[in-house]
Amino acid sequence: MNDQTLEDILTAHADALRHGHVAEGQPYLAAFLGQRSELDTLMTLAENLARALVPVKPAKNFRDGLAANLQLAAHHQAAQLALNPNRVALRYPLWLGAAALGASVAAGGIIAWVARRNSRLSHSHAGSV
């Protein structure tokens, strides 16, 4: 059995588990007696995962409290945006400007260092001659 077939079987098995149609992997195994051990292990693992991974819900007081906090924050944010609608739009060009300025300063520094180094080298060369 190639990997493709194995993947198809495992997917079909997992889909059946998701829909609660298959409690055990036995019906699938009957058709693949040669690879029973490999499939059996992986299907048992999937069945254990399906039993262990059940949906959980947050506590109601946490859920409601967070909803209220978010509403407050959302109103605050909406008010700020209404007062200064360009704030968000302005931020990106500001970052770009700062990055360009930083890059220019760094490039200027490198050029100055190279020029100074060249001048020093030519002085020492002249001195030795």
Q: d(Cα 23, Cα 62) in Å, to the nearest integer?
A: 35
Q: d(Cα 54, Cα 49) in Å, to the nearest integer?
A: 9
* Helix H or strand E encompassing 108: helix 86-128
To other proteins, the closest distance from the beta carbon of 31 in angstroms equals 18
Q: Which stretch binds other proteins (CB under 8 A): 28-36, 44-52, 105-113, 115-123?
A: 44-52
Neighbour tally for 10: CB within 10 Å:
17
**CB nearer to other proteins: pick between 1 and 107:** 1
Least Cα distance to 32 among 41, 19, 23 occurs for 41
Mark 66-85 with x for binding to other proteins (rule: CB under 8 A) and - for no binding: xx-xxx-xxx-xx--x----
Residues that bind other proteins in the complex, under the rule CB under 8 A: 3, 6-8, 10-11, 14-15, 17-18, 41-42, 44-46, 48-59, 62-63, 66-67, 69-71, 73-75, 77-78, 81, 88
